[in-house]
Amino acid sequence: MFPKSLLTAGAVLAAAAAIAAVPGPRQDEAASRASLRLYPVILSAAEQAEVSRGKIVLRAVASPGLKGKAFEAVGTLPGTLDEVLAVVLDYRHYDAFMPRIDRTVVTDETPLVALVELHLKLPLGMSRRYRLRYSACVGSDGFRVDWVKVPWPEVPPSQTVVDTSGHWQVGRTADGELLGLYHVYSDPGRVPLGMKGLAASLSKHDLPKVIEAVRSRLRPPAGPGRYKD
């Protein structure tokens, strides 16, 4: 049985606002390693039971004062912390296993921080693209990877989203299992008439698929051809 809260020690960024203020990924990495605890993951009794059975819990997260919506998915992950971290940081191959991602371009990278251009392929021939700054914070018992949207002036508003941000948090439960939390906030901006319901459904229901994708990447199915290189 999982505890109602999961507390692990790791290195986290001082604040998301501080991340966004930095012009590029070559920031002071010593600051990004500032030692702070990861946030507790609170699970209800029903959610604990679901996660214990290998299910993925999906829930809405309040975003007061913001126009977009936030959701998070929680589930256990196989493998070691290093193996999970390697998959989460494998930005160059997100198109091989992450849902909706058609192509990624890593424009700058350090061991902890990367600028990544994501190209999304959506239903009905729609597409979106935006640039994210990923910042990884690694501790002995877990890790956290935060991302924020950064300017990409060449992309017109109709081809991107107003805002998106989020984080991965992975730590150990009292039983030694790895518990992953995937949190995403998104404000798609103006959505074509009749597509708002679809846009909301995609942003919400794709989250469990991300955890499933990471699970599959950690335990790839037998046989060639499942993933692109």
Q: What is the pLDDT along the chain (229 residues), one digit of tens a residue?
A: 444 334 333 333 333 333 333 344 444 444 444 554 688 899 999 999 999 999 999 999 999 999 989 999 999 999 999 999 999 999 999 999 999 999 999 999 998 899 999 999 987 778 899 999 999 999 888 999 999 999 999 999 989 999 999 999 999 988 889 999 999 999 988 765 444 544 454 567 899 999 999 999 998 765 554 444 3
Q: Which amino acid, 90?
A: D
Q: What is the pTM of this model?
A: 0.80
3-state secondary structure string, the chain? CCCCCCCCEEECCCCHHHHHHCCCCCCCHHHHCCEEECCCCCCCHHHHHHHHCCCCEEEEECCCCCCCEEEEEEEEECCCHHHHHHHHCCHHHHHHHCCCEEEEEEEEECCCEEEEEEEEECHHHCEEEEEEEEEEEECCCEEEEEEEEECCCCCCHHHCCCEEEEEEEEEECCCCCEEEEEEEEEECCCCCCCCHHHHHHHHHHHHHHHHHHHHHHHCCCCCCCCCCC
What is the reported pLDDT for 203?
A: 66
CATH class, range 9-218 = alpha beta
Task: Return the number of other C-beta atoms located less than 10 Å from residue 196's C-beta.
Answer: 12
Strand partners, 121: 127
Q: Are 163 and 59 in contact (CB under 8 A)?
A: no
Q: What residue spans define the domains of the chain?
A: 9-218
The gap between the terminal CA atoms of the chain, to the nearest Å, is 38
What is the reported pLDDT for 189?
A: 82
Residue 37, both tokens: 């605890």
What is the reported pLDDT for 155?
A: 96
